[in-house]
Amino acid sequence: MAASDAREPLPQFPRDFLWGVSTSAHQIEGAVDERGPSVWDAFTAVPGRVKDGTTAAVACDHYHRYREDVALIRELGVGAYRFSVSWPRVLPGGAGEVSAAGLDFYDRLVDELCAAGVSPVPTLFHWDTPLALADEGGWLRRDTAERFAEYAAVVAGRIGDRAKKWITLNEPAEHTLLGHALGQHAPGEQLMFDALPVAHHQLLAHGLAVRALRAAGATDIGIANSHGPTWPASASPEDTEAADFYDVLLNRLFADPLILGRYPEGIAELMPADDIDADLKVIAEPVDWYGINFYQPTKVGAPLPAATAAPTEFSGLTLPPELPFTPREIEGRPVTDFGWPVVPESLTELLTGFRDRYGDRLPPLVITENGCSYEGIDDQRRIDYLDGHLRALHRALEEGVDVRGYFVWSLMDNFEWAEGYRQRFGLVHVDFEDTATLERTPKASYAWLRAALRAQRA
């Protein structure tokens, strides 16, 4: 008997718990010639920026094969599909003229999902800023937040009659830090802490989009922020201070203004707002739930001594030595093919920590992403990862944390940003070598999750 067959069944989740899978437009859609250009198209055109030299011009060709992919979602047995809408597919110039063909695609996708009994959960922004807006300053400009709200209204006006659950932004922290501070994601800016206006303008865009969605009749709105526990490398004041700083960047810079209506201490005065209090009122526009993307905890220590300082490799990134913290290895834990430590109990720690920090101000939570990169179709390690994290999630429920849903990242292997196609997060294998077929093959983890969900409904 295989190890996956011998394990204890998952504990029972609430009957109305929402199960889903996630993807994003740029990572799977392809059909690059049938939309406007994005910052990622420009970024991947520069040699050396993507580790395997690839682009997402074809990706999984979901744009033309969405019916096949929806059939996989239906067969898996989840209740919801979290996808992102490509801003440059709907508004090729970022504003102004709307692409009828772009909106028609999402209209067809939503119809196909509804016919399959799967709830559509659109994310309005998953990092693919229209290149025309980026050329005008992008997220460094306040105007981009206003253009985003206009775009939100256009999309809601077309599919809002069927799409009831909405996500404004995906991981604004990563888009700020990796795309604008460190330059290792699009648009490739290396602004370091001068990138903070990008954070503020994304948060403002979220609040304005919430208002636009409400005006269009939406009643179930959230955001997807990435979070994880931060552990100091030691009890020394230097390591503790460094870990606290990292924790502000990852966990509080985006959560505090959304939930509490204020930035962490010392941050507000760094933001580009004439009236920061007025902006924070928009940013803290009430949401119906708060999404958490979770992958790993991070151990953080003080910067290395200047004499030995050098760029640090961390989670596939190269971190410059001038940062006021240094990530450290979490020893004694298995790692994914991405090198990320597998620590399921840290999900329980994160969720109970959010409850304790924000108290009755905390909206209901949804895990909007959780998953891992492993090679192979017989992916027992992914089964182990998902099993462990779902048990950790259930422990948080038992401890009174209000979590309403869980989305696996990802439905299928895809273009993993600066990694290209080297990292495989999917429940479904995609044959990227054969671009004529891009054959989809459900992995062992797909079968495991399908059986686990059937057991939940039994």
Q: How far apart are CA 417 and CA 289, in angstroms?
A: 27
Terminus-to-terminus CA distance in the chain, angstroms?
Answer: 23
Residue 319 CA to its chain's centroid (Å): 21
The pair phi, psi for residue 392, each rounded to 5°, is -65, -40
What single-letter amino acid sits at 268? A
Tokens of 273: 């707002």
Pairing of strands 312-314, 317-319: antiparallel
Selection from 289, 403, 369 nearest residue 24 by Cα: 369
Selection from 52, 57, 71 nearest residue 29 by Cα: 57
The pair phi, psi for residue 169, each rounded to 5°, is -125, 150
Tokens of 324: 């006021």
Which amino acids are annotated catalytic?
171, 369
Q: What is the DSSP string of 162-201?
A: T--EEEEEE-HHHHHIIIIIS-SSTT----GGGGHHHHHH
Q: How far apart are CA 100 and CA 126, in angstroms?
A: 21
Q: How far apart are CA 12 and CA 23, in angstroms?
A: 26
DSSP assignment letter at 161: T
Selection from 162, 112, 151 nearest residue 128 by Cα: 151
Q: How far apart are CA 244 and CA 199, in angstroms?
A: 19
**CA distances from residue 321 to 174, 241, 401 in whole angstroms, order as listed:** 19, 17, 38
DSSP assignment letter at 362: P
